[in-house]
Chain A
Amino acid sequence: MRQRHPTLPITLAELIRIEPLARAHVAHLADPARRVEQVVLAENFDRLRRSTPHSLIVLHAEAATGGWALATALNLAWERNASAVLVSRAVAGPSSDALAQRLNITLLGIDGDPVDLALQLAGQISAPDAARALRQAQAAERLAEQTGVRGVLGVLNSELGANVPVALVAGDVVVAGRASAVARHPGVEQVGVDLHGPGERPWARLMAAVPAQVPGAAEQVHALLLLARPPLLAAWAQTRLNSGTHAAHEQAAFGLLRQLAGRSGRPVPAAEAADVEAPAWNSELGWQVEGINRAVWLAPLRSAGEPPPELTHLVRAAWQRGHPNWPLIAEGDGWISWQSSAGTEDVVPLRRALTAFRGAAAAHGLVVGVGRPHPGVSGLMRSIAEARLVAHVAREAGPGAVRWFDQVGAPTALAWLPVAELAEVAELCLPDLMDARDRDALVDTVLAVLDCGGSLSQASQRLGVHRNTVLARVARSRQLGLAFDDPAQRLALHVLCYALAAVRPERPGPGDLPDEQGLPDPGRG
């Protein structure tokens, strides 16, 4: 907590946040940071003339009759360098508001007996820290009653009001609260408190956007956020404890399921699929495997071993936002999930979930592969295998990419080709070609001709060059060792050409394709 001297005079900004001034109408606020040292109950103008600077002047009796009397009081308050003038709401009008603005003196309108108000305010001003502490203590009491993240944020929202949005942010993702708390605006000061997980590792940040023109408010909000930290950490630890157990449970259950299916992630022949019966404990976890299952593989862009549990936690939070019952099982370097539905066509919830997850996927550097729909447990295993394969294809498109096995199909295999190693093989097998300056054009031409099943005209169309050019390049390629007419060499040369084209840095990648679903290039199919 920021240090404050206990006798530091209370500021106007602090006073107007607590009763009774919290309900006052602020006609003009000259300087919220202005200190208030004394309350003067002014029943006439002589009393006003004797007031000391930094006073809060409460107008009463003759001085509170409005009209010229209020104008005179404002002038005298200005002359005496008062911090603010408090007057009955009934007597303040547009002209007094305008005069307060012109003299730049704070004018507050309030209903109630001026004598009572003056006494109450005098108490607050004589013990400034008590007034501050009162507000914080009330807030702390309410925060302590909360056990959940949402409850804590609810208390903060009601304490801070609509003008100060609060959000809990993990990484760049708003986990709870209002997104406007993290939006940067010119008139807004952002206040944040870090929440640390085990080993002092930052887990999340509690953020609030405070209107910048009220400087005292930022400190108050910061103090409140600090008060909210322990209940938030407790709530988080609780859910993490739960989710940690839950994750272990899910992982074990999935292992069992896989054993039942009798395979470990490898594609299962469709004929065997329906044989395995789903065990009863599935429903305890909230899983559904009896219907048609379509698996999703979430994988990091670069495979780097098992992801840390914190990342698993964040990915789970983001993935399960709309579908708390969908599983999320850490497996190898990624995570498995699936959607189970009655029919194969029901992909709308999954598409929605993927759209919602796109931001988080990009933020955490993840790609997504989606398998085809298959029935039952063994079908699930098959779909998982497909999803994992196609996720590999998605890696080429960068973070946030989603690829569907339905749309990629057999070319998935190409993603598994070790193109870099194959290119090195080419250096050894085809030295003449590799030395040629026009080798890129030759490789592209031969690749096109092979892709087009030997049709020169189709290849020339695809390359956008004349058929004779294709013919000439093919002839030259042959001289340089690309003898693809020989059936014994054709596959090897096709693969080598693909690898050489793939490793070339300027090669247009699938990420540049307009279709985000990554439909494979028909020319390569």
Chain B
Amino acid sequence: MSSTAAGPGYIGMVSSIGAEDVLTLYEGAKFYSPAVGDANKASLTFWLTGLLDRNGPVDLRRADGLPEQTPCISLCVLGSGAALADLPPAGDEFALAVQRIERVARVTFGAIYPLAAATVSALAPVAAASQLGLPLLDADGMGRTFALIDHTAMHLAGVSPTPLVAYGATGESVLIDAQSASRGTRLLGANVDPLGGWAALAAYPTTAGVLRRAALPGTVSRLVNVGRLLLERTDPDLLVARLAAITGCHRVGRGRIVEFEQLSRPTDKTIPAHPSSLVIEESGERGRQFRIELRSEIVAVFADGLLVAGVPDVLCLLDVSRGEIATLDSLEVGDLVDVLVTPADGLWYSAEGLAMVGLASHGINLDHPRRR
């Protein structure tokens, strides 16, 4: 990894990702999707580290650092992380998915970009770029993860996700060419299970020129920067202060988990999730009662019943005793946690953005605190 001190860029920009950056990238990717467990960590990071060791570092480019007409394709892991652990990737799914679209669209891609720079979907494009010998764009479509593949900045900018290819670990693939993004999502959803519960997805084929305005810039560099802080394992207060400088996050409060509620409530059918809540009793004088609403991630934080944060904010819990981000499957009653709120990209707080990924999509019909 090296930072560009000179030339066009921004503070903290990263110009390449090498084998030594894999763990850092992984930690940063976890911060932006804290719901995901660590089940795949060892095999994925080992595989990617080996790949980067053999092929050398992957170039990380800004969208405006490439010629305008350079064809680009986004990659992500579609489906559940648990399925990925059960059926490990063969390793070539992502590259093959890209090549499949190249054949269909009769185009040769000049760069790869992450559909969502978080979780394993942040690592897969690096692997594919390394395998295909292409640069990686320092930009993505979500700046975090959302549940559906049409929840992207590209979609909001009018870029079609299709033609798209879902490539399974079984060696089979599904090509989808649909008129609208929602139809594409629908058709894709029906095919994930037969492919083994997860698939490598190549979608949103477009050009670097379009991505200059249609993608969220700098989101891959940010993962590396955040990951570096998280790996330092400093005192939680210092960590939060440093994270705030990079991500703009703030701590809503610190408290102890007192209750874990499993409630079956009606929820939006399109988002596969099991609603439940965490109740946290705030430490110190204020002693507020935090209620953390969970779907497949943390979607809202209430303090004494008042909504103080909600998606598209990135909400995570920092395990105070360990000084690391707590994954949702590791929480226990009695844990002392910091509730951290990180703003998502401004795009998601627009009316269109909130309509797509806001609280209402999780059945919470309250105004977002940032729009009150």
Residues of A within 8 A of B (CB): 44-45, 62, 65-68, 71-76, 78, 93-95, 98-99, 102-103
Identity of the chain A residue whose Cβ is nearest the Cβ of B307 in the assembled complex: A72
Assess the B289–A68 pair: CB atoms within 8 A. Answer: no
> Which residues from B are CB-within-8-Å of A62?
365
> Which of the listed residues A67, A73, A98, A99 has the most CB atoms from chain B within 10 Å of its own CB?
A67
The secondary structure that dominates the A interface is helix
CB of B273 closer than 8 Å to a CB of A: no
> Which residues from A are CB-within-8-Å of B304?
71, 75, 99, 102-103
Assess the A72–B275 pair: CB atoms within 8 A. Answer: no
The secondary structure that dominates the B interface is strand
**1/0 contact string of B243-286 vs chain A (CB within 8 Å):** 00000000000000011010101100000000101010100000
* Other 19 A-B pairs with CB < 8 A, given A71-B304, A72-B305, A95-B258: A44-B365, A45-B365, A45-B366, A65-B265, A67-B261, A67-B263, A67-B265, A67-B275, A68-B300, A71-B289, A71-B291, A71-B305, A76-B305, A78-B305, A93-B259, A99-B304, A102-B287, A102-B304, A103-B305
> Which residues from B are CB-within-8-Å of A93?
259, 261
CB of B11 closer than 8 Å to a CB of A: no
> Which residues from B are CB-within-8-Å of A65?
265-266
Residues of B within 8 A of A (CB): 258-259, 261, 263, 265-266, 275, 277, 279, 281, 287-289, 291, 293, 300, 302, 304-307, 364-366
Inter-chain CA distance A68–B259, complex, in Å, is: 13
> Which of the listed residues A68, A73, A75 has the most CB atoms from chain B within 10 Å of its own CB?
A68
CB within 8 Å for A94 and B277 given contacts A99-B304, A102-B304, A103-B304:
no
Inter-chain CA distance A62–B277, complex, in Å, is: 17
User: How distant is B273 from chain A, measured CB to nearest CB, in Å?
Assistant: 14
Q: Residue B261 contacts which of A45, A75, A95 (CB distance < 8 angstroms)?
A: A95
Total A-B residue contacts, Cβ distance less than 8 Å: 61
> Which of the listed residues B293, B305, B364 has the most CB atoms from chain A within 10 Å of its own CB?
B305
Identity of the chain B residue whose Cβ is nearest the Cβ of A66 in the assembled complex: B263
Q: Residue B259 contacts which of A73, A94, A102 (CB distance < 8 angstroms)?
A: A94
Inter-chain CA distance A72–B107, complex, in Å, is: 53
> Which residues from B are CB-within-8-Å of A103?
304-305
> Which residues from A are CB-within-8-Å of B300?
68
Q: Residue A68 contacts which of B266, B281, B364 (CB distance < 8 angstroms)?
A: B364
> Which residues from A are CB-within-8-Å of B265?
65-67
> Which residues from A are CB-within-8-Å of B291?
67-68, 71, 95
Assess the A67–B305 pair: CB atoms within 8 A. Answer: no
> Which residues from B are CB-within-8-Å of A71?
289, 291, 302, 304-305
Assess the B305–A99 pair: CB atoms within 8 A. Answer: yes
> Which residues from A are CB-within-8-Å of B365?
44-45, 62
Identity of the chain B residue whose Cβ is nearest the Cβ of A103 in the assembled complex: B304
Inter-chain CA distance A369–B46, complex, in Å, is: 105
CB within 8 Å for A68 and B279 given contacts A93-B261, A95-B289, A102-B289:
no
User: How distant is B99 from chain A, measured CB to nearest CB, in Å?
Assistant: 46
Assess the B364–A95 pair: CB atoms within 8 A. Answer: no
Assess the B289–A72 pair: CB atoms within 8 A. Answer: no
Inter-chain CA distance A76–B306, complex, in Å, is: 8
User: How distant is B33 from chain A, measured CB to nearest CB, in Å?
Assistant: 21
> Which residues from A are CB-within-8-Å of B288?
102
User: How distant is A396 from chain B, measured CB to nearest CB, in Å?
Assistant: 68
